[in-house]
């Protein structure tokens, strides 16, 4: 009992050294753009994974104001944060019910389970049933009712709002897209539902026949560009920034960071920045990336540490301790540089960013 516990309720938290800017106008524009590209279909929004890492509490009000009315999460644990802001009836839980407790939770909260197997169908009906969604597996072999089972009579006893399937290769010009489209049409012929939904972000760009009644964009809402048709239409949403913790001078021949992989070719002014792999800025950036300030490029020196990176300040010698620098997050470009997918770049952004 040596130290006295201090309640953080009594003392205000000092300012952070990591912040994640959200361009709400770009987010709303992206949703409207995807809604428009969806043709006669209405665009929903995938907000799973804390809205792809950006913070569901920040993202949802903007999407609702823009006009989104259908939201998709993966886990039951994601429901409370979403229904704090959105009508429970607008929320679909993609993983579906694993047990009676999940089904009871869905009925109590009023969110829709997405039923992914005949087992989940039986579980839902035994729990008392009610409005639900159904996922058909048209070839991705992940979640969903198999094509062999689409004629199962139990499916006729459901009150299905959205009958959906998910494309495996919508980000490629693959013949598999048309195969899945045909299979989904076949399933829709025999399973009654109020609405049909097939396309994710990339699927929207495949053309109007992929739209049906409802689309389910995620990545592109948040600035991702999964297909070239969307380039120039989708705007960057996430703008991470990190503060400089310390400036230092290093001399010719000095090395920087773990394993001394960078050696200074001349005397340099460097900045130690509060950003590391614990924040989702992974080791794969080592030796490739740069942070930025205005137009100035500030190359990374040495390995990415857990909580820090070191940058060359030559292009912005005015920068001081406490100043903010930008983390480049144009998703297609950053994906190319880092080798991470655009999805991983977003969902990896850590908890230490103030959102
Ligand atoms: C994640 C997900 C989406 C959104 O996909 P994006 O590629 O991010 O647009 C749509 N539907 C389902 C079933 C998903 O799991």
Residue in 9, 42, 48, 343 annotated catalytic: 48
| Distance, CA of 301 to CA of 289 (rounded, Å) | 9
Domain presence at residue 297: yes
CB 41 within 8 A of CB 212: yes
Ligand 1 pocket, residue 94 CB under 6 Å: yes
Question: Is the domain of 213 the same as that of 245?
Answer: no
The pLDDT of 247-268, averaged and rounded, is: 98
210 catalytic, yes or no? no
pLDDT digits (tens, 9 = 90+) for 294-332: 999 999 999 999 999 999 999 999 999 999 999 999 999
CB 51 within 8 A of CB 63: no
Question: Is the domain of 54 the same as that of 125?
Answer: yes
Ligand 1 pocket, residue 216 CB under 6 Å: yes
Which of 160, 195, 230 represents a domain boundary (last residue)?
Answer: 230
Q: Please check the confidence at residue 8 and state whether its pLDDT lies above 90.
A: no
CATH number at residue 214: 3.20.20.10
Atom nearest to 226 CA in ligand 1: 7
| Distance, CA of 10 to CA of 281 (rounded, Å) | 32
Question: Is the domain of 176 the same as that of 302?
Answer: no
Which of 50, 51, 91, 94 for mutating ligand 1's site (highest number of atoms within 8 Å of CB)? 94
Would you give the DSSP letter of residue 98?
S
Question: Is the domain of 208 the same as that of 254?
Answer: no
Domain presence at residue 341: no
Which residue has the CA at smallest separation from atom 4 of ligand 1?
Answer: 218
pTM, entire model: 0.95
Q: What is the number of domains present in the chain?
A: 2
pLDDT digits (tens, 9 = 90+) for 100-126: 999 999 999 999 999 999 999 999 999
Question: Is the domain of 85 the same as that of 197?
Answer: yes
Domain range for residue 135?
Answer: 23-230
CATH number at residue 314: 2.40.37.10
Domain presence at residue 337: no
- Residue 102: which residues within 8 A CB-CB, separation 6 or more? 76, 96, 113
Domain presence at residue 12: no
Ligand 1 pocket, residue 218 CB under 6 Å: yes
48 catalytic, yes or no? yes
Domain presence at residue 344: no
């Amino acid at each position: 009992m040596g130290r006295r516990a201090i309640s953080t309720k009594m003392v205000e938290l000092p300012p952070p050294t990591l912040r994640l800017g959200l361009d709400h106008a770009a987010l709303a524009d992206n949703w409207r753009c995807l809604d428009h590209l969806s043709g006669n279909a209405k665009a929903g929004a995938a907000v799973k994974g804390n809205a792809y890492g950006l913070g569901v509490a920040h993202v949802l009000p903007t999407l609702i104001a823009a006009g989104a009315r259908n939201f998709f999460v993966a886990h039951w644990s994601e429901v409370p944060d979403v229904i704090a802001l959105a009508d429970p009836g607008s929320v679909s839980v993609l993983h579906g019910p694993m047990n009676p407790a999940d089904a009871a939770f869905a009925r109590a909260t009023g969110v829709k389970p997405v039923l992914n197997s005949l087992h989940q169908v039986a579980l839902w009906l035994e729990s008392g049933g009610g409005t639900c969604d159904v996922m058909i597996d048209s070839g991705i072999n992940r979640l969903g009712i198999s094509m062999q089972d689409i004629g199962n009579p139990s499916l006729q006893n459901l009150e299905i709002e959205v009958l959906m399937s998910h494309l495996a290769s919508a980000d490629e010009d693959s013949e598999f897209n048309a195969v899945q489209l045909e299979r989904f049409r076949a399933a829709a012929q025999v399973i009654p539902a109020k609405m049909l939904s097939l396309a994710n972000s990339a699927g929207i760009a495949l053309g109007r026949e992929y739209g049906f009644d409802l689309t389910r964009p995620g990545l592109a809402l948040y600035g991702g560009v999964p297909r070239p048709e969307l380039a120039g239409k989708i705007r960057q949403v996430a703008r991470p920034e990190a503060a400089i913790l310390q400036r230092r001078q290093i001399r010719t021949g000095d090395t920087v960071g773990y394993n001394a992989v960078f050696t200074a070719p001349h005397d340099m002014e460097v900045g130690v920045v509060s950003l590391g792999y614990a924040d989702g800025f992974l080791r794969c950036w080592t030796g490739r990336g740069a942070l930025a300030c205005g137009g100035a490029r500030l190359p990374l020196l040495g390995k990415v540490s857990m909580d820090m990176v070191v940058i060359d300040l030559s292009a912005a010698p005015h920068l001081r301790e406490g100043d903010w620098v930008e983390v480049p997050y144009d998703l297609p470009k950053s994906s190319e540089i880092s080798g991470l997918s655009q999805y991983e770049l977003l969902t990896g952004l850590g908890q230490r960013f103030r959102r």
